[in-house]
Structure 1
Amino acid sequence: MEKDESINVLGQALAVCGTDPVTGFFRDGQCNTCVADQGSHTVCAVMTDEFLAYSKYVGNDLSTPRPEFGFAGLKSGDPWCLCAGRFLQAHDEGCAPKVHLAATHRRALEIVPLKVLQAHALPA
């Protein structure tokens, strides 16, 4: 699978989202994507208890450890490459987490308007 160019929503080189735990569709610490990434794991977000509870409620439990997949479970404060659609859904429900714009892939803009990402942006 060939990665799309690593460019963020600001038109710059894509920054690292998180390495502990290692995130990203490619598990390379960045929110890189490709045509095989059906969920568009492109939004670098910092987890909150509220968002993790919401995500579990809508069917994607990110907080429970899954050792069979080498996944320790996420906790508040962990950075994670979220599916753009799930982020937008959380925004619409009023529980979207903060976003690291420099680490959010530009393909997220196909789903989430830049002004929505900016409204949730962490301080630069």
Structure 2
Amino acid sequence: MTTDALNVFGKPLTACSFDPLTGYFRDGCCNTREDDTGSHVICARMTAEFLQFSLSRGNDLISARPEYRFHGLKAGDRWCLCAMRWKEAFDAGVAPPVVLSSTHMKALEYVTLEQLQSCEFTP
């Protein structure tokens, strides 16, 4: 999928992850469109704490789901998260680190740049 999508800095969106393959379109990027009702636009590096938080909220990102070609996530994996789930985790103090260059500018409709920057992933 080719895209002119921009990240939170107004620059071209960079890939989030190809292994595991992420994104609403499974193109490695946090691209989106109107039918992406979850707005999978925040590229985050998973932590064990966040994965457990998500599981406690009814969204199991840990268990494999072969029928969806989903192998399950582990700490250290990068994944395009739903903006509202990331915000919920942020408010609870367990937001995973964010890869800003790979986070779609649509994320700014849900959270502030300052909130994202406070959780910036720095390798």
TM-score bracket relative to the smaller structure: over 0.9
Q: 8 Å contact 1:4–1:33 — kept in the other structure?
A: no
Q: Which amino acid aligns with 1:13?
A: P
Aligned residue number for residue 23 of structure 1: 22
TM-score by length of 1: 0.95
- Runs of 4 or more off by more than 2 Å in structure 1? 2-5
Aligned residue number for residue 81 of structure 2: 82
Shift of 1:4: 7.2
Aligned residue number for residue 42 of structure 2: 43
Q: 8 Å contact 1:3–1:33 — kept in the other structure?
A: no
Post-superposition Cα deviations, 1:37-79, rounded to whole Å, max 9, x if no partner, equal: 0000000000000000000000100000011111100000000
Q: 8 Å contact 1:101–1:121 — kept in the other structure?
A: yes
- Structure 1: distance between partners of 2:17 and 2:55: 21
Q: Which amino acid aligns with 1:64?
A: S
Q: Which amino acid aligns with 2:67?
A: E
How many residue pairs get matched? 123
Give the SS at the match of 1:42.
strand
Aligned-residue RMSD, C-alpha: 1.5
Unaligned runs of 5+ in 2: none
1:104 and 2:103 equivalent?
A: yes
Give the SS at the match of 1:99.
coil
Aligned residue number for residue 120 of structure 1: 119
Give the SS at the match of 1:68.
helix
Instruction: Please list, as runs of the form range in 1=range in 2, the aligned pairs for 1:62-73 lying within 5 A after superposition.
Output: 62-73=61-72
Unaligned runs of 5+ in 1: none
Aligned residue number for residue 11 of structure 2: 12
1:33 and 2:17 equivalent?
A: no
Post-superposition Cα deviations, 1:82-101, rounded to whole Å, max 9, x if no partner, equal: 00000000000000000000
Q: Which amino acid aligns with 1:39?
A: G
